[in-house]
A and B are shown apart, each in its own frame.
Chain A
Amino acid sequence: MLDMTVQSIITGLMMGVIYALITLGISIVFGVLNVVNFAHGDFVMFSMYLSYMIGTALVWDAVQTPLITIPVLFIFGFIVYYLIIDRTLRQMYVVQLAVTVGLQIFMRSMALIIWKAQPRALQYSIIQGNIQIGPYTILTSRLVAAIISLIFIAGIAWFLNKSWAGSAMRAASDDLDMASLVGVNYRRTYALTFAIGSALTAVAGGLLMSFQQTDPVGGIRFGFLSWCVLALAGLGSIPGLIISGMIVGVAETVTITFFDPRSRLLVIYGIFILVLWFKPRGLFGRK
C-alpha cells in the first residue's frame, strides 16, 4: 500500500513537470496577451501527431522530433497570431473565447480527417528500461522527459529575465501602454509570445510521444490539465508553476492507482473548481 502510494507519487511528479511545461505556454500567452488560448491542448495533440509522423518517417526517437517540430510550431504560432488572435485583441472577451474555441474545434477536426480516429504511437524508442530504487521503478523515458521539460522551463525563465525580448514581454504583461511608451512594438512582442507558447507544445508533444499514444480528441485533456495547473499556480511564478504541475500530476496518478483511471479528469477538474472557488489568484500568483 505504502509502496504503491510512493510509486504513484514518483510517477506523478515526473508527469507534473511535463504538465508544467505545457502550462508554461498557455501561461505566458495569458500573462502577456491577456488571451486564454482554449486550443492550447490541441496544439499539444497536433505536436504529438507531428512527432509521430516524423518519428515514423525518419525512424527517430520521439524525444528527437522536437528538433523539427519546434520550428514548425513556432511558425504555426506566428501564423495563428497574425491570422486570428491579432484581430481580436481590441474586441470583447467573448470574441477571443469564440475564436480560440473555434480553433480548437478546427484543429481537432483536421486531426480526425488527416489521421482518422485511430490512436497512434511510436513503436521504437532508444530510451529503454527503467531505474530500480529499492521497491520503486522509475521509467527512464519519463525521467528523461521530466529532465528535458525542466531544462526548457529554466531556459524560458532565463529568456524572460535576461533577454531584451523577454523583458519586453514582461513589460507588456505589466503595463501595455507603458511598454509602448518605452518603445516596445507590442504586436511583434505578442506574436513572439504566442509563437513561443506554441513552440513549447512541440517540446511537450515530443516528450509525451516517447511513452504515450495520441488521438484526435486527446487535446481536450491537455487543455483541462493546463487550465487547472494555471489556476493553481497563478501568474508570475515559474517555481510555482512547476509545483502546481506536480500537484496535478500526483493527483492524477494517485487517482489512477487507487480509484478508477477513468475518473482522472474528474479529479483534475475538481481541483480546478476548488482553486477557483477558494484561491482565485492561485497558490503562487502575485498581487
Chain B
Amino acid sequence: MLLKISNLNAGYGKVPVLHECTLEVNEHETVTVIGPNGAGKSTLLKTITGLVKAMSGQIVFQDEEIATLSTDQIIRKGIAFVPEGGRPFPNMTVLDNLRMGAFTKRENLKNGVIDELFALFPVLKKRSNQYARTLSGGERQMLAIARGLISRPKLLMLDEPSLGLAPKLVDEIYEKIRMLKESGLTVLLIEQNTSYALELADRGYVLENGHIIMTGACAELSSSDHIRKAYLGI
C-alpha cells in the first residue's frame, strides 16, 4: 500500500473540516475522492501535503508516518501535488517552472525527463520561454501537471484539474491523465466533475461534510442511487 490514511481529523484553527477519514491508495491505482463544494476535498490533499496540520489520525506513506513532517519533507518522499488552478509560478518562465518541479530531483533535468514531458504536452515546448502568467487556463493546468511529474513522483495528487476549463480542454486534460494512469503512475484525484472522475478512476470515495460516506469501485459507485441522484443528475 502506498498511502494509508486512518481516522484523520483536520481543519483550520480549532474547527475540524475532516472527521475520522480513512482512505487507502494502492500502488498503480487511480483513486478519486468526489463530493460537493465545501465537503473538505481540498483540505484532505492539503493535510496529506502538510499545508494543513492533522489534528489527530495517521497518514502513512510507504510505511512511514508523514503527518508530522513539514511540506517540503513530505514532497521529498515522492508526492507531487497539483493544486486547484495549477498555480504555476506566475513570474517565472515555463521552463523555470519545470526546473522548480525538479527542485528535489535535480538529476532529472539531465535525464531527458523534460523532453518526455514536452512530448506529452507539446504546447509547453512552444511556450517554454514565456512567463507562466501569460498562459491560458488549460496551459497552466498542463504546466502544473508537468511540473509535478518532473520529479517522477510515486504519487500524483490532482485537485480539480477540470475546474474552470472549457469542456474540450477538460477532455484533453483527462486524456493526459489517462495516459499517465496507463503508464503505471499512482494517482489520487479530487474532482467535482463526478462523471469524468468515476470514468477514469479505479476506486472512489465520497466525501460529504467532512465524512467519508461511501467507498467502492467506480463502477459500483456509478450505479448507486445516491451518486446517480446527487452527483450525476440521472
> Residues on A close to B: CB < 8 A?
164, 167-168, 170-171, 173-175, 177-186, 236, 286
Which listed residue, A175, A183, A236, touches B87 by the CB 8 Å rule? A175
In the bound complex, residues from chain A placing their C-beta under 8 Å from that of B81 are 181
Question: Mostly helix, strand, loop or mixed at chain B's interface?
Answer: loop
With A180-B51, A181-B83, A183-B72 as contacts: A168 and B103 at CB distance below 8 Å: yes
- Contact partner of A181 among B49, B90, B99, CB < 8 A? B49
Contact A174 B91 (CB under 8 A): yes
* Interface flags, B63-83, vs A, CB<8A=1, else 0: 000000011100110000101
Q: Which residue of A lies closest to B91 (CB)?
A: A174
Q: Report the bound CA distance from A235 to B99 in whole Å.
A: 23
Q: Is the CB of A178 within 8 A of B89?
A: yes
Return the 8 tightest CB-CB contacts between A and B, nearest first: A183-B104, A180-B71, A174-B89, A183-B75, A183-B103, A185-B72, A182-B103, A183-B72
B53 touches A (CB below 8 Å): no
Closest Cβ of chain A to B75, distance in Å, is: 4
**Is there contact, CB below 8 Å, between A180 and B72?**
yes
Residue of B nearest to A172 (CB): B89
> Which residues on B sit within 8 Å (CB–CB) of A173?
91
Q: Which residue of B lies closest to A31 (CB)?
A: B91
**How many positions in chain B have a CB within 8 Å of any CB in the partner chain?**
24
Given A181-B49, A183-B104, the answer on whether A174 and B75 have CB atoms closer than 8 Å is: no
Most chain B Cβ neighbours within 10 Å, of A171, A175, A181, A183: A181
A-B contact pairs, 21 of them (CB 8 A): A170-B91, A173-B91, A174-B92, A175-B89, A177-B83, A178-B83, A178-B87, A179-B89, A179-B100, A180-B51, A180-B71, A181-B75, A181-B81, A182-B101, A182-B151, A183-B75, A183-B103, A183-B104, A184-B72, A185-B72, A286-B91
**Complex Cα distance A179/B103, Å?**
10
Q: Is B203 engaged at the interface, CB distance under 8 Å to the other chain?
A: no
Contacts A168-B103, A180-B75 given: A185-B91 contact, CB under 8 Å?
no
Contacting residues of chain B (10-46) with chain A, CB-CB under 8 angstroms? none
In the assembled complex, the Cα of A175 lies from the Cα of B76 at a distance in Å of 19
- B15: shortest Cβ distance to chain A, in Å? 18
Contact surface of B with A, Cβ cutoff 8 Å: 49-51, 70-72, 75-76, 81, 83, 87, 89-92, 96, 99-101, 103-104, 106, 147, 151
Closest to A167 in B: B100
A168 to B71, CA, bound (A): 15
- Add 17 more A-B contacts to A170-B89, A180-B51 (CB < 8 A): A167-B100, A167-B103, A168-B100, A168-B103, A174-B91, A178-B87, A179-B100, A180-B70, A180-B71, A181-B71, A182-B75, A182-B100, A182-B103, A182-B147, A183-B104, A183-B151, A186-B72
Residues of B within 8 A of A177 (CB): 51, 71, 83
A174 and B89 alpha carbons, distance in the complex (Å): 6
With A164-B106, A181-B81, A183-B103 known as contacts, the answer to whether A171 contacts B89 (CB < 8 A) is yes
Give, as a whole number of angstroms, the nearest-CB distance from B225 to chain A.
Answer: 38
A182 touches B70 (CB 8 A): no
Q: A185, B104: Cβ atoms under 8 Å?
A: no
CB proximity of A282 to chain B, nearest CB, Å? 15
Q: Which residues of A contact B87 (CB under 8 A)?
A: 175, 178
The minimal Cβ–Cβ distance linking A176 to chain B, given in whole angstroms, is 10
